[in-house]
Amino acid sequence: MGNAGPRSRWQVARQLFVGGDDPYAGADLTSSRNATAVLLALHGLLVLTLLPLFPPTEGAGEAVGWTLALAGVALNLASAVWLFRMPEVRFGVMLAIAYAGIAELVILQLLAQTVLPYQVLFLIWVGAAAVQPARRALVLLVTIVAATLAPLVVGGPDAQSGDVFGLALLLAAIGLVLIAYVAYVRAQRLTLQAQERDARAHAMAATKRVRDLQWITDAALPHAGLQELLEQLLSRIATVFDADHGAILLRAEEGSRFELRATLGVEQDVDAEFHRSIASRLAGRLAFSRRPVTLARDDTSGLVRTLLKGSDLESLLGLPLTLGREHLGVLYIGTRTPRRFSDDDAALLQLVGDRVALAVDRARRMEQERHIAETLQRSLLPDQLPRIPGMQVAVRYLPGGAGMEVGGDWFDMFELGDGRVVLAMGDVVGRGVRAAALMGKLRTSLEAYAFDGHSPAEVADRLHALMERQHRAEMATMLYVAIAADRTCAELASAGHMPLLIRAPDGTARLAGREPSPPLGALPFVRFDASRVEIEPGSTLILFTDGLVEVRGTSIEVRLEELRRAVEAAPANPEALCDALLVAMLGHEEPRDDVALLALSVAPLPAEGFSLELPAEPEALSSARKALDRWLREAGMSRSDAHAIKVASGEACANAIEHAYRPGDAAFRIEASRRDAEVLITVRDFGGWREPRGTDRGRGLPLMEALMDSVRVDPSSEGTTVQLRRRVEEG
């Protein structure tokens, strides 16, 4: 914008005559040049006309006089032509020509020894003076008047004082009128130009503001997280307003405290508290005014003094972020150099603020929903899979690309009361909180139906019926694998899910469950079929969701084959296998969709023994018992031996659980081994041995002693070890 508003005509005129730089210098040169050239030519022709009437022969002889006079005329005409042809002529040149013309006339007067006829031609140079910049014009006019009056002073040949004086007066008057008129026209033109310039600057500023606004709010990218959004917005706002300091504070979810969410030009720890105090003080004022507030250090209000005191800020522009009646937070920018934010700045920031508030509100909502869905999903997925001897399991769960809502992939694994182990995986069609909630419901229902003793097909039937009753519009896939207690086979039911991959001990891999029933909830009347697969000891079962194999533009068959080969190429260990499959199928990129992957290796329990670490919870007793039961059976133990060992070990484990210091993360370990006809069970806990209290609690130890040949309890500061031995019948 111009350094001042449109200037008044008087101011322009004053500047033309008095002010420092000539505002007209360099402007309107062409018309001045043309006028000067025409006048110069006219001067030459008029002199040529006057010469025969008043010959220049009186002053310096005939030859010299004529030569000089005609040379002058020739020079006049040549200069006029030259002047016309010159592309650029400075005012100084034209001025020099005017002075030369005046000098020529003075010389002619001397040569002709007559004054008046030639003095009349001064009128031409009065005209030439008028087109000069005003101050020069005045000086030239004074020179002309002086040249006119000169014969009176010097005493010219026929100086009639009355005529000369009258002529001088006439020239001065005409000159002044002309100069004033030209100055007036020029002032008017300058004023118009200034106005036009201002208008253009204004229009450009408005365009820039719209562009700035657009640019700032471009940062409100639809998928950006709240934090990223705030930082982007603040940095762009600071750039547009040319501020070196700024912060966005948002009201905490609950309560009225403001939290510093994004800062610019702030040394983190030192200034954070200062920012907060600025914000809370500003907030009151801003919330009240609901308009931007500008502050500068030279203000004298109390607010400014309290706010800017103790900071190196010189000026500040603050804005409440409001949405309807809700007060979301505060945004402000500041500078360390003296500056006063203009009303235009405040108006632009107000516009920016409205958009920032909208974007913040939207991002916050999205983030809340995502947070809810993630929390829900996490709480609905098992945080720990059961530890079952002879089985190693690894799971990977990769949420889909950033900014996406959470999906409905889920998995589960549990051991049934009869020793069967169930693996389940599913994918609810859809995303977000709804999908996560349905996924949780399916997972819970599946476990309940499974524990009720239903077969895989029956479990699928029931889940389908549940969806039909409660979620008619939704659909989900599921793969249910029940591994038999003896681990030699598995029964599986698939509702539209990806097949099961089985990696044999020799490394070959095959797909099972390739003809699934329709997804749960897809068709009204469906019965689900189950199929049976043999499992060689040392096999690995692999369950996965479509996110692992689906790639736009590639057939699923091709991808499944790629996966099968990747399994054959991968190591057998479940953890390493999962890692290798993710790299082979997804590369190192973030998956587009959610990916769930579970690998479970089924190994026979070694005959010489096993070791198992379990959480110190009463529920772990049954896991320990099942493992022991299976091992004892595979080792060919008699039923009474097996039962005695199971009960005695159970007592030792129960002790370990009851002595656990910290519920939750405490664990205990059970080891079983056999040497010839003797079975040794060792149970270790990491708490302190507690002497039996009361008659009821003291039944465990006598029971162990009665059932086993020897019982040894070794308490130590690190924990207690119980060793149980029993000689068994040779099987």
Q: Which stretch binds another protein (CB under 8 A): 205-213, 296-304, 614-622, 675-683?
A: 614-622
The DSSP result for 102-141, as a single string, is HHHHHHHHHHHT--HHHHHTHHHHHHHHHTS-HHHHHHHH
Q: Looking at beta carbons only, is 33 or 659 nearer to another protein?
A: 659
Interface with another protein (CB under 8 A), residue from 194, 621, 667, 713: 621
Q: Which amino acid is at 316?
A: L
Of 14 and 699, which has the nearer Cβ to another protein?
A: 699
**Least Å from the CB of residue 616 to another protein:** 11
What is the smallest separation between the CB atom of 702 and another protein, expressed in angstroms?
A: 7
Q: Is residue 382 exposed (0-12), middle (13-18) or buried (19+ Cβ within 10 Å)? A: middle
Stretch that binds another protein, among 273-281, 391-399, 515-523, 612-620 (CB under 8 A): 612-620
Task: Name the residue nearer to another protein (CB basis): 27 or 703.
Answer: 703
The residue behind tokens 């010159």 is 86
Can residue 625 be called a binding residue for another protein (CB under 8 A)? yes
Q: CA triplet 680, 686, 688: central angle to 5 degrees?
A: 100
Residue closer to another protein, measured from CB, 367 or 705:
705
If one asks whether residue 633 binds another protein (CB under 8 A), the answer comes out as no
Q: Is residue 654 at the binding interface for another protein, with CB under 8 A as the rule?
A: yes
Q: Which residue in 543, 411, 541 sits closest to 489, CA to CA?
A: 541
User: Counting Cβ atoms within 10 Å, is residue 219 exposed (0-12), middle (13-18) or buried (19+)?
Assistant: buried
- Cβ 394 to another protein, closest distance in Å? 22
Which string of x and - marks every residue 400-439 that binds another protein (by CB under 8 A)? Answer: --------------xx-x----------------------
Which two three-digit tokens encode residue 2?
Answer: 């111009």
Q: Which of residues 83-142 bind another protein (CB under 8 A)?
A: none
689 binds another protein (CB under 8 A): no
Stretch that binds another protein, among 298-306, 573-581, 595-603, 637-645 (CB under 8 A): 637-645
Q: Which is nearer to another protein, 66 or 414 (CB)?
A: 414
Under the binding rule (CB under 8 A), the answer on residue 696 touching another protein is yes
Residues 394 and 201: their CA atoms lie apart, in Å, by 68
> Binding of another protein at residue 289 (CB under 8 A)?
no
Q: Which among 2-10, 242-250, 538-546, 697-705 is the span making contact with another protein, rule CB under 8 A?
A: 697-705
- Of the candidates 211, 602, 152, 677, the one whose C-alpha atom is nearest the C-alpha of residue 415 is 602
Q: Residues 432-437: contacts with CB within 8 Å, 24+ apart?
A: 432/369, 432/373, 432/405, 432/406, 433/369, 433/372, 433/373, 433/376, 434/474, 435/373, 435/406, 435/407, 435/408, 436/373, 436/376, 436/377, 436/380, 436/406, 436/408, 437/376
Q: Which is nearer to another protein, 77 or 621 (CB)?
A: 621
Per-residue DSSP letters for 339-407? ----HHHHHHHHHHHHHHHHHHHHHHHHHHHHHHHHHHHHHHS-SS----TTEEEEEEEE--STTPPPE
Q: Would you say 147 and 105 are in contact if contact means Cβ atoms under 8 Å apart?
A: yes
User: Is 619 an interacting residue with respect to another protein (CB under 8 A)?
Assistant: yes
String of contacts with another protein for each residue 451-470, x by CB under 8 A: xx------------------
CA nearest to 228, candidates 400, 403, 372, 349? 403
In the complex with another protein, which residue's Cβ is closer, 9 or 697?
A: 697
Which residue, among 482, 578, 560, 580, has the nearest Cα to 514 in the 3D structure? 560
Query: Is 334 near another protein (CB under 8 A)?
Result: no
| From 36-44, 533-541, 583-591, 615-623, span contacting another protein (CB under 8 A) | 615-623
Decide if residue 729 touches another protein (CB under 8 A): no
Q: For another protein, which residue of 305, 690, 699, 712 counts as binding (CB under 8 A)?
A: 699
Check binding of 5 to another protein (CB under 8 A): no
Number of residues counted as binding another protein (CB under 8 A): 30
How many angstroms separate the Cα of 199 from the Cα of each of 9, 84, 189, 204, 212?
18, 36, 15, 9, 20
Nearest approach, Cβ of residue 700 and another protein (Å): 5
By beta-carbon proximity to another protein, the closer residue of 618 and 731 is 618
CB 689 → another protein: shortest distance, Å?
A: 16
d(CA 411, CA 115): 120
Q: Is 640 in the site for another protein (CB under 8 A)?
A: yes
Which residues 6+ apart lie within 8 Å of 65 measured at CB? 55, 56, 57, 58, 59, 111, 112
Three-state DSSP class for residue 157: coil
Select the residue interacting with another protein from 490, 657, 670, 722 (CB under 8 A).
657
For residues 627 and 669, what is the distance between their CA atoms, to the nearest angstrom?
13
List 707, 722, 724, 728, residue binding another protein (CB under 8 A): 707
Rounded CA separation 508/512 (Å): 13
Q: With CB under 8 A as the contact rule, which of the stretches 52-60, 212-220, 230-238, 700-708 interacts with another protein? A: 700-708
Residue 35 binds to another protein (criterion: CB under 8 A): no
CA-CA distances (angstroms) from residue 107 to 1, 40, 42, 482, 540? 54, 16, 18, 128, 122
Tell me phi and psi for residue 617, to 5 degrees: -135, 145
The span from the CA of 678 to the CA of 676, in Å, is: 6
Nearer to another protein, 515 or 696 (CB): 696
Answer yes or no: are the C-beta atoms of 376 and 435 closer than 8 Å: no
- Token pair for residue 176? 């002044």
Q: Strand 710-716 vs strand 719-727: parallel, antiparallel, or unpaired? A: antiparallel
* Candidates 19-27, 505-513, 587-595, 647-655; binding stretch for another protein (CB under 8 A): 647-655
CB of 647 to another protein, least distance (A): 6
Instruction: Determine the interface stretch with another protein among 309-317, 347-355, 503-511, 621-629 (rule: CB under 8 A).
Output: 621-629
Least distance to another protein, CB of residue 619, Å: 5
Task: Give the binding range for another protein (CB under 8 A) out of 55-63, 73-81, 95-103, 654-662.
Answer: 654-662
- What is the b/e burial string over 554-587, where b = at least 16 CB atoms within 10 angstroms of the residue's CB? eeeeebbeebbebbeebebebeebbbbbbebbbe
Give the range of 485-493, 495-503, 580-588, 644-652 binding another protein by CB under 8 A. 644-652
Q: Are 435 and 369 in contact (CB under 8 A)?
A: no
Q: Contact between 650 and another protein (CB under 8 A)? A: yes
Identified binder of another protein from the candidate list 38, 272, 667, 703, rule CB under 8 A? 703
Residue 591 or 615: which CB sits closer to another protein?
615
Which span (28-36, 90-98, 484-492, 643-651) binds another protein, by CB under 8 A? 643-651
Q: Which is nearer to another protein, 448 or 523 (CB)?
A: 448
What Cα–Cα distance (Å) separates residue 650 from each residue in 422, 480, 488, 620, 644? 24, 31, 27, 10, 10
Choose which of 706, 710, 714, 729 interacts with another protein (CB under 8 A). Answer: 706
Least distance from another protein to the Cβ atom of residue 636, Å: 18
Cα distances (angstroms) measured from residue 147 to each of 95, 120, 153, 172, 422: 16, 12, 10, 12, 122
What 3-state class would DSSP assign to 716?
strand
* 651 binds another protein, rule: CB under 8 A: yes
Shortest Cβ 486–another protein spacing (Å): 17
Contact between 618 and another protein per CB under 8 A: yes
Q: Which is nearer to another protein, 404 or 621 (CB)?
A: 621
Contacts with another protein, residue ranges (CB under 8 A) = 414-415, 417, 451-452, 617-619, 621-622, 625, 639-640, 643-644, 646-647, 650-651, 654, 657-658, 696-697, 699-700, 702-703, 706-707
